[in-house]
Amino acid sequence: MVKRIPVIVVSGFLGSGKTTFLRYLIEESKKKFGIIINEFGDVGIDGDLLRGCSDCATNNEQCLLELNNGCLCCTVQEDFIPSIKLLLKSNAELEFILIETSGLALPIPLIQALNWPEIRSSIYLDMVIGVVNGEAMIDGRPINNLDEINSQYDETNIIDHNYSINELFEEQLEVSDLVIVSRADILEDHDFEFIKQQVVKKVAPHVPIVKSFNGEINLNYVFESGIIKNNYESFINEDHDHNHMEVFSKAIKNEYFLDKRDFDYQMSIILEGLDILRIKGRVWIPGKLMPLQIQIVGKKINTWFEESPSNCWKPKNGGLELIIIGFNTDSFDILIRKIKDKFNIYNVPKLIN
């Protein structure tokens, strides 16, 4: 009998802490994972952040696959099923497959795709984990600047947008078997109880809701727990025709750099008045052994120094590489111009479409 490999799906809205949790899971569990990351844009920042923490991913490039179409389920035959098959073929000792969804992805179509005949004899969906931003949920929102993002979304005037940010967030929760509340370090006990009350309304009664700081949780919830893992089953055969937010992405590379404090300050000024959903990337600063990692959701800026893979783009001296995600490309052009003006860049940034 062919061994079926369990699949763990990790979903959550933009900036909720999915990648941080996955890094902890991979490092601490010491299990052999195949990893699929689904995101927007051609620059695999999240993949690079995971490569350094997994023996499997470090030793075998085919153990970590990045699909940059923004919606796995819409390219099932072209991308998703071949990726699953490649993971299974290339990694004989595989124990689990991890799938990190895009922060704007509807999880139900992906769950249905895992049941396609071509792969269901080789894999099975073991668990869906939803990650929520504890800092934002203090205000009862999935993201800190929800009103601003909803305003951007409404202004796009695209007819086939038929669901809201809140509906997306609720769907991510309703299929979850475990909910992780990130940024627990800033949560008082009463804050966490308030967040639990908000989340409980959107999940099955038996679903555990746990705190996480820097991605850390008790991994018994994932591997040893007797918790019920079937909240997604009612959706597997459900008709679920879905449309998407039309989201765009663009990469920018140039040879300008700023140190951490200056970058944080200047970017906070640049982002004022711009409709940008997400920015991620890295800044290479002369004299620093590691690049400055960049993670921005709306106006929330998070930066830290961390090593990157040896084969990623690196300028000769200093430079910056960013992937920009948003509802309209006009804001991208303004952002790039502001970076040029504010950072006093003399060479026009190289754009990658």
In-domain check, residue 265: yes
Instruction: Look at residue 327 and tell me whether its pLDDT is greater than 50.
Output: yes
| Residue 326, SS3 per DSSP | strand
Q: What's the pTM value of the predicted model, to 2 decimals?
A: 0.75
pLDDT tier, 158 (very low <50, low <70, confident <90, very high otherwise): very low
Residues 164, 23: Cα–Cα separation, whole Å: 30
Q: What SS3 string covers 13-73?
A: CCCCCHHHHHHHHHHHHCCCEEEEEECECCCCHHHHHHHCCCHHHHHCHHHEEEECECCHH
At residue 192, the pLDDT reads 92
Residues 313, 321 contacting (CB under 8 angstroms): yes
User: Could you read off the pLDDT of 40-98 as tens digits, one per residue?
Assistant: 554 455 556 566 555 544 445 567 877 765 555 555 556 788 888 888 888 778 899 99
Residues 225 and 257 in one domain: no
Higher pLDDT pick, 7 / 240: 7
Sole residue written with tokens 């663009």: 250
Q: Is 317 exposed, middle or buried (0-12, 13-18, 19+ CB in 10 A)?
A: exposed
Instruction: Look at residue 172 and tell me whether its pLDDT is greater than 90.
Output: no
Residues 35 and 132 in one domain: yes
In-domain check, residue 168: yes
Number of domains comprising the chain: 2
Higher pLDDT pick, 298 / 157: 298
Residues 19 and 138 in one domain: yes
Residues 320, 339: Cα–Cα separation, whole Å: 11
In-domain check, residue 241: no
Range of the domain at 279: 248-352
Residues 130 and 99 in one domain: yes
User: Could you read off the pLDDT of 288-324 as tens digits, one per residue?
Assistant: 889 999 988 878 888 989 888 777 888 888 888 888 8
At residue 191, the pLDDT reads 92
| Residue 183, SS3 per DSSP | coil
User: What are 140's two structure tokens?
Assistant: 């009862």
Instruction: Look at residue 101 and tell me whether its pLDDT is greater than 70.
Output: yes
